[in-house]
Amino acid sequence: MKAVVVEIKDKFVAVLSDDGCISKIKNKNYIIGQEIILKNNLKYIKIAASSAACLILFITPVWAYLTPYSYVSLDINPSFEFSINRFDRVLQVNAINDDGRDTVEHIDISKLKNKEIGEAVKNVLTELKGQGYLNNAKEDGVVVAASSKSQEKTDKLTSALKLAVEEINIKSDKDDSYNNKKDKTNERNKEDKSNSKEKRD
């Protein structure tokens, strides 16, 4: 059964499994948001059946993990909105226009959940690029916006998302397009000057 690490406390971690149960297991250098497999023969403690101390220790962090803290919109046409928690992990992905809804059918949304938002955005852009949606993005651009409960978090998300987009070569493709146009313009200017000189001679 799959589970995601939602809190780390010294030698133990709290994980949220697919069946909605919260479990306490030994920490094997896990990180928040990491997906793991709970083996059938694994001895783990269900928090619901554990001591009150464990409940106090883990329930609040789990609530924090499951609560949306920031929102990220990816607008290319198709357009998407990501709900993420305070750990920058994806909780939900929604299409916000018809093209987005059509595209979602070709993207496994379940694989985006619990991913770090930068990785999730790159995964979506890679999929869209493969489907040919980013051909016009070289000129029109990819708009990624973030909003959060704190301005500091918004600024950090904006910077991280900008890097994520650049890693998919959207920005570099656009820059190459601009440089090619500039080179062609310079060539035309040289030809015009050469023709003018020949006419004067």
Same domain, 30 and 79: no
Same domain, 132 and 74: yes
Range of the domain at 75: 70-168
Same domain, 49 and 95: no
The predicted structure's pLDDT at residue 136: 55
**Residue found by looking up tokens 């990491």 in the block:** 34
User: The whole model's pTM is what?
Assistant: 0.64
Same domain, 62 and 83: no
Give the torsion sign (CA, 80, 168, 138, 178): positive
**Overall residue count recorded for the chain in this entry:** 201
Same domain, 44 and 104: no
The predicted structure's pLDDT at residue 66: 83
What whole-number distance in Å separates Cα of residue 124 and Cα of residue 127? 5
The predicted structure's pLDDT at residue 60: 64
Same domain, 50 and 137: no
In a domain, 199, yes or no: no
Same domain, 130 and 159: yes
Our count of domains for the chain comes to: 2
In a domain, 178, yes or no: no
The predicted structure's pLDDT at residue 101: 75
In a domain, 85, yes or no: yes
Q: How many Cα atoms occupy the beta-carbon half-sphere of 58 within 13 Å?
A: 27
CA nearest to 157, candidates 82, 74, 92, 88 = 88
DSSP secondary structure, 21-46, as one string = -EEEEE-SS--TT-EEE--TT---EE
- Using the 3D structure, point to which of 49, 66, 83 is the last residue of a domain: 66
Q: What is the residue-level pLDDT of the chain in tens, covering all 201 positions?
A: 888 888 888 888 888 777 667 778 889 999 888 888 887 644 544 544 444 444 445 566 677 788 899 999 998 878 899 999 988 999 999 888 777 777 777 777 778 888 899 999 998 888 888 877 776 555 457 888 999 999 999 999 999 998 888 887 654 344 443 344 444 444 545 555 555 555 555
